Amino acid sequence: MKTEFLGNRLSPRTLVAMAYDILVAATIWMVGLVLRYEFERVAAEPGLLLQTTPLVVVVQLACFLGFGLYRGFWRYASVHDVKQIIKAVTLAALLVPTALVLLRHAQGIPRTLFILDPLLLIFFMAGGRIGYRWWKEHRPYGLLREQGKPLLILGAGERALKLVEELGRSAAWYPVGVLDDDRAKIGRNLAGIAVLGRWDDLADIAERTGAGHAILAASGEDHNVRRRAFQLCENARVKLLVLPGVDDLISGRVQTSTQLRQVELDDLLGRDPVRLDTQGLSHWIAGKTVLVTGAGGSIGSELCRQIARFAPGRLVLFDHDEYAMYRITERFLEDRPDVPIASVIGDVKDAGRLDAVFSQHKPQLVFHAAAYKHVPLMETDNAAQAVLNNVVGTLRVALACLAHGTEKFVFVSTDKAVNPTNVMGATKRLAEMLLQHLHEREQLPAVMVRFGNVLGSTGSVIPKFRWQIARGGPITITHPDMQRYFMSIPEAAQLVLQAGLMGEGGEVFVLDMGEPVKIVDLARDMIRLSGLTENEVKIVFTGLRPGEKLFEELLADGETTLPTPHPKLRVQRSVAPPGPSWERMAREWLDQSADLSDVEVRSGLVRFVPDYKPRPAGNEGAPQLALEPAPATEVAARFGRSTRGSGGEG
């Protein structure tokens, strides 16, 4: 331990700590001798002090170094530090008499000093450290109260107690009171801070104390608690702050668990933390080569960050967007230099490029997140490209997995694949069906994961609303009754990983998306979070766009799900996939899809995805386009099963 310590640089703080201990050790020894003999013998034999004190101090200091007493911070002194002091002093108490005897300096030393010295040494060394911590936590707090911002704490539990202790070290904030709905706590103190009233008293207490901020510190808080706190703070004209959660720490938005931040949209939409099988994921991913397509996108990049937590042998980033690849590569080089990565520019539609990449890197796990997912863009003039990217690209990645013996292929799907009314959703559903068929026929270890909208992802409404608010509005929404399911990007990525771990092949996992959120309520929350009102930023309704639904669904008509060991994952009940004739015809059609018009693409999708019911823009609930009835019936009859069966899950 001594060598390891000496190998580190001696900072000024370390030298001060050592000087304190040396001074304490020397003083206790000398004062003990002087008091024992009432100055007489010490005055008559000055060598007694001069010969023994340096020897005692050197032995004791060696023990202090050996037990690493100077590797910690006095500011965070704890019971562990006291234990180390006791161990070091105890060893020194055994070595000091031995050294004195061996060097023939023990004569004249009272035996009581060998007992008294270590006791006093423990008291003053531990007391000095604990006293310094107390001073750092309380004296600056008292001196700097008037410089910090007054703060109210919502909740009077264990979390609030720790928060008060942490705020004691900060000059930026000081708590002026605690609020809790438990009447038994009102009038009591929490680490010296009074519990002033209930949450509903926030407006009056904020005005009385001058607090312009409140922090949510309730134990076991969920999104309903956060929304209530936000509403109370808004009514009281107080800014709500929150402690970061696991997602924030993982994503890098904050660096410590006590760094305060303003409440954000994620906090209000209501998603409880994801419980991951970290041991299982570590065993599954650690040391393996993992390839992620669409690695530069919002979901793909978050998947890469989450995978990096489990120490893959190599992480292959695959994307056709050069700038997106540059950004994620630079981020990994800066934040995760410990994870070996390979940045590959390529298109999932390019079978030759895929074969070369798979041959070089031999990925054992593949996560396929590359997709065109913007519904209106894919609906008009780009339908053929949606088919090529979302279906042909998926099929070629799957075939590369088969050719190179990939252990598992995880396909990121969408709730828009359920009873699809748009090209994007229909292409995702067709990709699911092809993967299920490859699983049945070729034993492709494919796992599919469906989820809804992701907060802040590329093409979502959140960045659009932020941009519209920044320029003063208006916020444009297609319909006042429009609803969507939402989850955070980290949560989506974590559940994709969990589903990939749990799936054995052929399953479609459906994520628990919670309650649907009205888009107009989302817009209103964003306006309020920006400190504005609807009088300042107007909301206007523009009518449904091509292919849009008012409500998204997680299951098609007649589909059911079965529970899994994970509370946020359900697996769709398996149904036999279409027969080989269906696959042959579908792949023949895909081979010529690049040359098809939008009308021909929709007609083909209706033929091979009987659940696809295209609707004209702005006419929700209107009769279906005259593309599908005959082909759907023809497909059902040709393969000897019902229309629902041919489009069902397998």
Catalytic sites, residue numbers: 416
Token pair of 26 as six digits:
């020397």
Compute the chain's Rg from CA coordinates. 34
Cβ-in-10-Å burial (0-12, 13-18, 19+) of 609 comes to: buried
Q: Provide the CA 316 distance to its chain's centre, in angstroms.
A: 21
Closest by CA to 281, choosing from 446, 410, 455, 435, is 410
Please provide residue 79's backbone torsions phi and psi, each rounded to the nearest 5 degrees: -60, -35
Measured distance CA(363)–CA(307) in Å, rounded? 14
Q: Across-strand partners of 316?
A: 291, 342
Q: CA distances (Å), 467 to each of 34, 422, 464, 483, 574, in order?
A: 78, 26, 5, 21, 43
Measured distance CA(598)–CA(592) in Å, rounded? 13
Q: What are the E-state strand segments in 360-480? A: 365-368, 408-412, 446-450, 453-454, 475-477
Our CA angle for 355, 356, 360, nearest 5°, is 115
Token pair of 575 as six digits:
């149904």
Cβ-in-10-Å burial (0-12, 13-18, 19+) of 365 comes to: buried
Which residues, at least 6 apart from 119, have a Cβ–Cβ distance to it below 8 Å? none
Measured distance CA(362)–CA(364) in Å, rounded? 6
**Residue 216 DSSP symbol:** E
Q: In what order do the strands lie in the sheet with 508-511?
A: 341-345, 314-319, 289-293, 365-368, 408-412, 446-450, 508-511, 569-572, 561-563
Closest by CA to 450, choosing from 555, 538, 310, is 555
